[in-house]
Amino acid sequence: MEFTTAESFLHEGLLQSFELTKIIVRIFFLTGQNLKQYILKTNVYPREPSPLKELREVTAKHPGNLMSTAPDSGQLMGMLLKLINAKKTIEIGIIAIDPNKETYEIGLPIIQKAGVEHKINFIESQALPVLDKLLQNLSTKYPDNEGSFDFAFVDADKENYLNYHERLLKLVKVGGLIVFDNTLWGGTVAQPEEAVSEDRKESRRSIIEFNKSVSIDQRIEIALAPSGDGLTICRRIR
């Protein structure tokens, strides 16, 4: 793969000065930020339902706010949910399965005000054992889960994305969708490893492995939408 790094600019003879190259890279970065703001301000925020706006604003005040899924990705998923008329959905990371209930409780008053709490079954747990339990139909509350979900969203530990994918492929019906967040991992998937900060390396490797694996997976159709931090949409076809 060829990388457009400051160095490759120099090799292409576009610029002679590394300092100048840094400025150009920064301009590209700013343009990306401006475009993102443009999309949010023109297309996303004006149409955001008020509970989602409230949720976004509450989340913005939380120290872990960087973790939240981008509003444009949320809008795209809202569209997908309507297009497939999704009734039964599952989320890994915050709303449905999460080891940390505190974050769910931040959003709970908003969920209650929106009158949808009865539609959500929050499970405080590591996700893999819950998915395995669902597949074994061990819960009396939720029997017959295989092939019963219309839609799944995953935004949890990147190291387990492929494990979640395998289980969700059984839980989601043929024609259903599994959507994974952060599949561009801040753009680092297209950077050489040495350019990536230490704390991002392990997840980057998992995401690269995940992206490679789903790209050749014949059980699904895929589209990687460059929305938010990258949203991979997988449609189960067999």
Ligand X SMILES: C[S@@+](CC[C@H](N)C(=O)[O-])C[C@H]1O[C@@H](n2cnc3c(N)ncnc32)[C@H](O)[C@@H]1O
Residues of the shown chain interacting with ligand X in the complex, contacts defined by CB under 6 A: 67-69, 92-94, 97-100, 103, 126-127, 155-157, 160
- Residue 185 region, left (φ>0) first, then alpha (ψ -120 to 50), else beta? left
Considering beta carbons, is residue 44 or 127 the nearer one to ligand X? 127
What is the chain's Cα-based Rg? 20
Residue 171 C-beta: closest distance to ligand X, Å: 15
- The Cα 12–Cα 19 span in angstroms is 16
* Alpha-helix runs per DSSP H in 40-126: 50-60, 71-83, 101-113
- The Cα 126–Cα 169 span in angstroms is 18
Q: Select the residue whose beta carbon is closest to ligand X and give its number.
A: 93
Residue 64 C-beta: closest distance to ligand X, Å: 8
Considering beta carbons, is residue 62 or 119 the nearer one to ligand X? 62
For residue 104, give the nearest of 123, 88, 118 by alpha carbon: 123
CB-based contact 107:58 (threshold 8 Å): yes
Residue 193 C-beta: closest distance to ligand X, Å: 22
Considering beta carbons, is residue 68 or 183 the nearer one to ligand X? 68
Residue 95 C-beta: closest distance to ligand X, Å: 8
Considering beta carbons, is residue 69 or 211 the nearer one to ligand X? 69
Residue 53 C-beta: closest distance to ligand X, Å: 14
Considering beta carbons, is residue 31 or 100 the nearer one to ligand X? 100
